[in-house]
Structure 1
Amino acid sequence: MTDIAARIAQLRAEIERHSHQYYALDAPLIPDAEYDRLFRELQALEADHPEFASLDSPTQRVGGKLLDGFAPVLHAVPMLSIRTETDISDGGALAFDGRVKRELEQPDAEIEYVCELKFDGLAINLRYEHGVLVQAATRGDGESGEDVTQNIRTIRQIPLRLQGSAPPVLEVRGEAYMARRDFERYNEKQRELGLPTLVNPRNGAAGSIRQLDPALAARRPLSFFAYGLGEVQGWELPATHSGILEALATLGVPVCEERAVVRGASGLVAFHQRVAEKRDALPFDIDGVVYKVNNLTLQARLGFVTREPRWAVAHKFPAEEQLTVVRDIDIQVGRTGKLTPVAKLEPVFVGGTTVSNATLHNEDETRRKDVRIGDTVIVRRAGDVIPEVVGVVLDQRPADVGVPFDLFQRLDGKCPVCGSHIVREEGEADWRCSGGLFCPAQRKQALLHFAGRRAMDIEGLGDKLVEQLVDGDFVRTPADLFTLNLTILAQLERMGEKSANNLLDAIERSKQTTLARFIYALGIRNVGEATAKDLARHFGGLDGVLQANIEALQQVPDIGPIVAQSIVAFFGEPHNLGVVQALRDNGVSWPEQVVIQQTTPLQGLTFVLTGTLATMSRDEAKERLEKLGARVSGSVSKKTSHVVAGTEAGGKLDKAQELGINIMNESQFIDFLRKIENQDET
């Protein structure tokens, strides 16, 4: 029994260490599979030996029984709100500094402040007794909140036991939030299952914590940052607020690194401006910054007014959500043919600018939100992100509001730009224009893709040049690139004789290509490099691809009905066939291949690469796999044989785990390659 108790203690410590590395420091030390193995071993031991149960065990994070309700919790120290500075310009920082100096009667002093982020989540109080988390509560009305301990235990960033020497009582206050990446992943999974999605990360965080079913809360990925203290017993406080944050970090409590100690109003202004510039790049939502007088003695002198501390203020950024009215719903054609419903709005100031258009994403989202012409809607804009309609305020819907949105009926089944048929593949959320190379709305992107390094590899044909060629009506399809001459190029900005000749030489060289590159260059929906190579290997020439029906295409390895339908639809448009013929007439050619079946070590296997590899580029890994006969795909499916996961692997890794597909880390992948390559040489 002594050995069992020791092993349980060892496992708990090891799992908590790895959890802290993964969730708080974002620097995992072991693969997920090894973490899962340790966790399962601990679960089994605790199940067999319930006498060793402990509240600080990592197994207590997974959610318990369904709650009847949340018990009230009286805060030992009230959770006060902070005054909000409504002037979103630099004046907010200047006004706060001025008030502090007046209250302290130090008009010429340069006060030291701590600057932090104002997280857009839910305020939480964590109570630790002798280092063990015993209770978690919401802010509530400031005097009392709700006991949400079971749900808070599911947040893996929050330590169940503090590191090092902990005081008898330590209440940590902070914000539970949902990171943007976790929010998107959760919604993606919900959509795949046909279940409701979350409106925004803040609602996701608040809704998760106030779930009566802790098991459901456990499935919603939340994070936490500490920013202050509640009740403290038996702990000598540091002299400054910045010292408190550093001390909490040493105890294993997550504290946001995006903070600064500054002096005077100029320091506050600089922090506010710096964060505003990087706000959209942060991995979580914020709605402002917080300034606090750093010295705790000065905080005590300043005190409180109407239950708000005089020594702190929240300096907000422009609001990111506002109400407005939908005047019409327009349909835009994107660069890849995607048809996007766009709400034409009564202009409203949101996210720092006046917004009159907002995306509705696709027909399904428009119907799910039931957005209709005449509705009052919530519009969200975060920085440079395209404004979107978050939801409808049904209480304000007029009696004569329009009918539910129907994209196909609205367009009579045709692209509003080029008149080609619109299609929606099975399982897809988006309608698309089938015009492809012919559609003016898709022209610029089609040309850039066609000229790309992995396609026709026309060096020097970049964004600005393509924009001039299309806007000047010199190039309508990729075939027109091969009719360019010095006279035309001389009319373009920043195009000297040498540059023009270099481009014409690159265009001429690109005429000699491969069938796989040519097929990929056409930009057929769902046809990437790997599929283009599969088609070239299977058919040997372009005519075979053009003549193939859906059944024939599905004889190609790893091509299913969706991809086959995309190919048939593309070549079924006369416009696209005309472009292909014009390219051939202008001299684009490739050697016809003889289809030979040969055996290679990894023939028939499909690999997916995800994340960042430290020892080689993704292109190098792909080239080595393909040389051994493997197919490298961009998405995970039941047909995937192996997934290679580097650092910061995302949704592909999650899907591979769900499907039970073999996963290799970088070290295992390198060993695997070396072994296969050595076998191939012998």
Structure 2
Amino acid sequence: MLTREEARRRIEELRREIEYHNYRYYVLDAPVISDAEFDRLVAELVALEEAFPEFITPNSPTQRVGGAPREGFATVRHRLPMLSLANAFEPGELRDFDRRVRAALPGEQVAYVVEPKIDGLAVSLTYENGEFVQGATRGDGETGEDITPNLRTVRSLPLRLLKDAPPLVEVRGEAYMPKEAFAQLNERREEAGEPPFANPRNAAAGSLRQLDPRVTAHRKLDIFVYGLGYSEGLALTSHHAVLAWLAAQGFKVNPHYRLFPDIEAVIAYCLSWQEKRFDLPYQIDGMVVKVDDLAQQERLGATLKSPRWAVAYKFPPEEAVTRLREIVVSVGRTGVLTPTAVFDPVHLAGTTVSRATLHNEDLIREKDIRMGDYIVVHKAGDVIPEVVRSLPERRTGGEQVFRMPARCPVCGAKTIREEGEVAIRCPNISCPARLKESILHFASRNAMDIRGLGRALVEQLVEKGLVRNVADLYRLKAEDLVRLERMGPKSAANLLREIEASKKRDLGRLIFALGIRHVGERAGKVLAAHFGSLARLMAATAEELTAIPEIGPKMAASIRTFFSEPRNRQVVEALVSAGVNTVAQTATPGGGPLAGKVFVLTGALKEYTREEATARIEALGGRVASSVSRRTDYVVAGENPGSKFEKARELGIRILNEDEFNRLLAGDEI
């Protein structure tokens, strides 16, 4: 066991090492250790910080995952205004900009730095004595919003500067979402029936303005820095020297910036990127041209809104007109029906495209898009083909209004649309289009907990026709499994044993495992405790469901819709026939020997996982909380307990070891 001082030194050492490897991976794109080695460093740091919570700091690498949600954003006043740039759309306007600069600096040599204009959200990053202390949005230029916790989740942003840090420096940059992350995010939103983001800029802004930093942490944002605001103790004389200094401090600086001696070279470079931009993994909407000499920038000054020493050359939007041939409907892995436009091929943003999602029926009506229309298409964020608008003036009268199908085009189930949602869904959990996800959810740890049933195996089971619904899992035989890739007799036996053991899971888990929309783990337990059996739940009316305090009208309607689908009822009947438990084993609310008692778990128990211990407590009427307070009755402490153990001691709360916990569960005196 480390002493307190040894732990402090090791924590500092680990933080420096982890930040170095973050810099190598996220900024230089040149890692020097494997992911597994990096994960071991992080795991060691997490363990030490749990054992010595007094050493946790906001800038620790472990805090990048995002903390608890906040109630709102505080206001930050910029020490120097964050001005927006004037735009130029033609080479002639760049020449006009150059003439104005030279007229204001008569007889002086003027050089320009040109860099890509990242399409994201402008941010300000403040460092005090080398430590990141505050991040803010541009806002109105004078004041912005404090988004410090969200910016800490951006892996390429250094939490401390590398060397010779000034007392105070404010760095300006652009937070953005890479094209691949943008496409993945919109795909997830579509599958969830949520409206997609229009472009990476909106996605980045929406992600950084989340009140819950944990949401931001999952959005895979990145950042390029491009300049300085207020600073103390820095003596730099040119913009290209500023960029070099920022790179030396560990910031991610765009590698495509260039220094030019005259405006004609600037124009040639800007035009060269008009097509090359599509090959970048992030979106740019133009190039930024800046006077290089900082003293000249100071003399040129600014208008109320824009600096006179910089201009943004904006690329023209790329659109094409084509003929819409048909609208086809696909079914996603969560059951959402998505209409897709199929049109004559056109060349856009470096590729040929012939299809674009139309998202939902409401959007089709709003844009008045009909089959046979001439349409305008572009790529949202240079990534996702999108229908911008129709051209009704070119209609001939033969165009057809599109209607979403009343039945799933894959399985034939009657489709549903919940009140207040734009998504239309297939409610059949056995629909071939959503079967793999249904099985993975059914087998997940907090549902039926069938260990060893991962995605690769599920894909084989479905593709070979061995499993057509979740109930078919209980019909699998060893001879079925051993024919699959990477599945020998021992692995097959282990999986069959896990499947058999899952038959005994509590009813609450089974209800959650069925994948009823809006019904999570907690709701599954509540429904199991209230109705006592799956048969009673299936027969419950909407009124009976909403009479339960934690079940609202939306969830009640979803439950009724699920069980009114004949295919879902057939799956339930097959589960019953297979011997899966459908009767509640837990006590009803308010009953049981531990009724009203509040427990907190800390450390590793030998006999139980955290979920198993929680289930045992709840089965006897108790409740498990995530943090220690004066209302806590017992803290159950396993090996290597964390800060909850110390807090329980401070508050005088009864601490149980595992033997005492087992005696309490057995009803013995402790």
- Report SS of the residue matched to 1:176: strand
Distance 2:323 2:176 in 1: 34
Other-structure match for 2:217: 218
- Report SS of the residue matched to 1:175: strand
Unpaired segments ≥5 residues, structure 2: 330-337, 391-399, 413-429, 436-456, 467-481, 488-670
Distance 1:46 1:231 in 2: 34
Q: Which residues in structure 2 correspond to 1:413-452 (within 5 Å)?
A: 426-427=432-433
Other-structure match for 1:272: 270
Asked whether the 8 Å contact 1:327–1:374 carries over to 2, the reply is no
For the structure 1 residues 150 and 373, does the alpha-carbon distance in structure 2 shift closer, same or farther, using more than 3 Å as the test? closer
Deviation at 1:48, TM superposition (A): 1.6
Residue 357 of structure 2 is aligned to residue 361 of structure 1: yes
Residue 150 of structure 2 is aligned to residue 144 of structure 1: no
Deviation at 1:331, TM superposition (A): 4.6
Asked whether the 8 Å contact 2:278–2:350 carries over to 1, the reply is no
Deviations 1:340-373 (A, max 9, x none): 843779xx999899x9x974337xx344855566
Deviations 1:212-234 (A, max 9, x none): 11111111110000011111012
Deviation at 1:80, TM superposition (A): 0.7
Deviation at 1:162, TM superposition (A): 0.6
Q: Which residues in structure 2 correspond to 1:504-653 (within 5 Å)?
A: 560-562=461-463, 605-606=485-486
Other-structure match for 2:132: 133
- Report SS of the residue matched to 2:42: helix
Deviations 1:32-71 (A, max 9, x none): 2222222122112112212212232111211112111100
Deviations 1:90-149 (A, max 9, x none): 22332222222222224xx76310001111000000000000010000000000000000
For the structure 1 residues 117 and 167, does the alpha-carbon distance in structure 2 shift closer, same or farther, using more than 3 Å as the test? same
Q: Match of 2:357, as an amino acid?
A: H
Distance 1:252 1:160 in 2: 10
Deviation at 1:560, TM superposition (A): 4.2
Deviation at 1:263, TM superposition (A): 1.4
Deviations 1:225-259 (A, max 9, x none): 001111101222x2110000000110111111011
Other-structure match for 2:260: 262
Deviation at 1:174, TM superposition (A): 0.5
Deviations 1:527-575 (A, max 9, x none): xxxxxxxxxxxxxxxxxxxxxxxxxxxxx9985444669xxxxxxxxxx
Deviation at 1:406, TM superposition (A): 4.2
Asked whether the 8 Å contact 1:359–1:389 carries over to 2, the reply is no
Other-structure match for 2:10: 7
For the structure 1 residues 562 and 196, does the alpha-carbon distance in structure 2 shift closer, same or farther, using more than 3 Å as the test? farther
Other-structure match for 2:84: 81
Q: Match of 1:251, as an amino acid?
A: Q
Distance 1:255 1:56 in 2: 21
For the structure 1 residues 383 and 59, does the alpha-carbon distance in structure 2 shift closer, same or farther, using more than 3 Å as the test? closer
Q: Which residues in structure 2 correspond to 1:146-295 (within 5 Å)?
A: 146-190=145-189, 197-236=196-235, 238-295=236-293
Asked whether the 8 Å contact 1:327–1:373 carries over to 2, the reply is no
- Report SS of the residue matched to 1:274: helix
Other-structure match for 2:94: 93
Asked whether the 8 Å contact 1:20–1:157 carries over to 2, the reply is yes
Deviation at 1:31, TM superposition (A): 2.2
Other-structure match for 1:31: 34
Asked whether the 8 Å contact 2:357–2:385 carries over to 1, the reply is no
Q: Match of 2:177, as an amino acid?
A: M
Asked whether the 8 Å contact 1:372–1:404 carries over to 2, the reply is no
Distance 1:66 1:391 in 2: 38
Asked whether the 8 Å contact 1:332–1:341 carries over to 2, the reply is yes
Distance 1:312 1:342 in 2: 41
Asked whether the 8 Å contact 1:85–1:315 carries over to 2, the reply is yes
Distance 2:339 2:364 in 1: 15
Asked whether the 8 Å contact 1:171–1:230 carries over to 2, the reply is yes
Q: Match of 1:315, as an amino acid?
A: Y
Other-structure match for 1:633: none
Asked whether the 8 Å contact 1:118–1:288 carries over to 2, the reply is yes
Other-structure match for 1:302: 300
For the structure 1 residues 304 and 373, does the alpha-carbon distance in structure 2 shift closer, same or farther, using more than 3 Å as the test? closer
Deviations 1:142-184 (A, max 9, x none): 0000000010100011011010110010000010000112222
Distance 2:460 2:285 in 1: 46
Distance 1:382 1:14 in 2: 39
Distance 2:389 2:70 in 1: 30
Asked whether the 8 Å contact 2:113–2:292 carries over to 1, the reply is yes
Deviation at 1:308, TM superposition (A): 1.6
Distance 1:297 1:557 in 2: 64
**Identity rate, percent:** 43
Deviation at 1:270, TM superposition (A): 1.7
Distance 2:128 2:79 in 1: 14
Asked whether the 8 Å contact 1:318–1:352 carries over to 2, the reply is no
Other-structure match for 2:22: 19
Distance 1:72 1:606 in 2: 56
Distance 2:385 2:459 in 1: 38
Other-structure match for 1:102: 103
For the structure 1 residues 250 and 383, does the alpha-carbon distance in structure 2 shift closer, same or farther, using more than 3 Å as the test? closer
Residue 49 of structure 2 is aligned to residue 46 of structure 1: yes
Q: Which residues in structure 2 correspond to 1:392-471 (within 5 Å)?
A: 402=401, 404-406=403-405, 426-427=432-433
Q: Match of 2:275, as an amino acid?
A: E
For the structure 1 residues 558 and 244, does the alpha-carbon distance in structure 2 shift closer, same or farther, using more than 3 Å as the test? closer
- Report SS of the residue matched to 2:231: strand
Asked whether the 8 Å contact 1:115–1:290 carries over to 2, the reply is yes
Distance 1:30 1:349 in 2: 41
Superposed CA RMSD in Å reads 4.4
Distance 1:249 1:140 in 2: 26
Asked whether the 8 Å contact 2:75–2:144 carries over to 1, the reply is yes
For the structure 1 residues 372 and 606, does the alpha-carbon distance in structure 2 shift closer, same or farther, using more than 3 Å as the test? farther
Q: Match of 1:156, as an amino acid?
A: R
Asked whether the 8 Å contact 1:118–1:286 carries over to 2, the reply is yes
Asked whether the 8 Å contact 2:112–2:289 carries over to 1, the reply is yes
Other-structure match for 1:374: 368
Matched positions, count = 413
Deviation at 1:603, TM superposition (A): 9.1
Unpaired segments ≥5 residues, structure 1: 334-338, 393-400, 414-423, 430-555, 566-601, 608-682
Residue 122 of structure 2 is aligned to residue 123 of structure 1: yes
For the structure 1 residues 603 and 249, does the alpha-carbon distance in structure 2 shift closer, same or farther, using more than 3 Å as the test? farther
Q: Match of 2:51, as an amino acid?
A: D
Asked whether the 8 Å contact 1:358–1:379 carries over to 2, the reply is no
Q: Match of 1:119, as an amino acid?
A: I
